[in-house]
Amino acid sequence: MALVGLLGLGAFIANCAEADSSDDEASPSVDASAGEEAGHDAGTVGDGSAAAVDAEVDPCEASEDGCADPVWIPVATGQPSGLGLSSVWGSGPNDVWAVGATGSVIHWDGTTWTSTSIETNYSLQSVYGTGPNDIWVVSTASLIYRSTGFSNGTATFVRETPVFENALGPATVGPLFAVWAAGPGDVWISGRHRMSKAGQLETSWRTRPGDGGVAWAPLNGFGDNNAVYGIWGAGANDVWMVGSKGTTTSFASHTSGAPADGGMPTWTEVDTATFAVLNSICGTGPNDVWAVGNSGTIRHYTGGATWEIVDSPTSQNLRGVWAAAIDDVWAVGENGTILHYDGAEWKPSKAAMPKSDQRHLYAVWGSGPADVWAVGDGVVLRYSGPQPGTQGDGK
């Protein structure tokens, strides 16, 4: 199936990158990136038609349970209604980006979503940035894009140096599922393993100075059957990666940073206490990290040698997680699943969508506790804080 002048490191590091991947039983993408990784793209919904354009939704009409109940409201984007979005990130409430199928890029300026697509037929998997003038988008190991931000009603994305290039096309070099940055000039990207020119298996890379532009240094060689779906760190010397070993077993690895000489970091795998594949990771600090994955799996790292098992109110595959505070965490997933953690337990939350149209959600991000966005199969939802009389609203 299926980005404010430059902020200080401490200001933006807690914003989480979403992973936009999962098991191969998900709804397939119908765009040109379909193939061996079709199960990891956000595509179109229904019959694949993208003729209609979305519109503002009346919460009273959309909800089967009345106006007072839903706390997540659909927001019109002007995009074709069936077009899937796989990732969302922003530098603040007036600078939010979402990306997805067939090169889709949309930008929120605080009032309106505007389309500013990248010219490619491949799905864009993840978006992240270090501020409003430094935004990164990844698709495959040969399709990596960078923008200096939204200006005069649009944004220009430049294709950066590929990790790998192949004459047979971008799909042959493997997908990238996640992008995260420790700061300007220190960007981390991850995906499915590929054999490098050095003959080693690599799944992740980090920017380093190159001749006339960006070059990429390998970050790990986790294994010949691994994929990294999520990256998050409390800083460049405290970074997590989560994903899968094969298609049915999870892993989570941590590094305390890369050697000064630019060599590969040392990674320590931490027991996840589950076989379920982990799709996304986020936290508020070194000892408050959340990971979510298939079959409703939720894990919490508070320090130590293992991840804590957390009771989950769903068995749906969870795709994205974002933390505003230690007692304010959101997770989203398949079939319209939205969950909230209030510091004591995880509870379901509702969106103003008909029960007959519960679309998959792939990513969640917010600029603060009362400004949170979720994106998925042809839908963008917004949470603007708890409303009187609501349930599962985080309060």
pLDDT digits (tens, 9 = 90+) for 200-243: 678 899 998 665 668 898 888 776 678 999 999 999 999 999 99
Q: What percent of the chain has pLDDT over 70?
A: 75
**Residue of 205, 200, 173, 211 whose CA lies nearest to 189:** 205
Decide yes or no: CATH 2.130.10.10 for domain 9-383: yes
Reported as a pLDDT band with limits 50, 70 and 90, residue 85 is: very high
* Residue spans per domain, the chain: 9-383
Reported as a pLDDT band with limits 50, 70 and 90, residue 16 is: confident
Reported as a pLDDT band with limits 50, 70 and 90, residue 277 is: very high
Cα 343 to Cα 340: distance, rounded to the nearest angstrom: 9
Instruction: Output the CA–CA distances (angstroms, integers) from residue 157 to 72, 143, 148, 222, 284, in the order listed.
Output: 31, 11, 8, 31, 30
Given a contact cutoff of 8 angstroms between Cβ atoms, the answer to whether 45 and 15 are in contact is no
Query: Which pLDDT does position 275 carry in this prediction?
Result: 94
Question: What amino acid occupies position 44?
Answer: T
Mean pLDDT of 276-291: 98
Cα 345 to Cα 351: distance, rounded to the nearest angstrom: 20
Beta strands 379-383 and 371-376: pairing type? antiparallel
Query: Which pLDDT does position 259 carry in this prediction?
Result: 76
Q: Assess whether pLDDT exceeds 90 at residue 67.
A: no
Query: Which pLDDT does position 63 carry in this prediction?
Result: 44
Q: Higher model confidence: residue 338 or residue 27? A: 338
Query: pLDDT per residue over 358-367, tens digit each?
Result: 899 999 999 9
Q: Is 106 helix (H, G, I), strand (E, B) or coil?
A: strand
The mean pLDDT of the chain is: 82
Q: Is 79 helix (H, G, I), strand (E, B) or coil?
A: coil
Q: Assess whether pLDDT exceeds 90 at residue 106.
A: yes
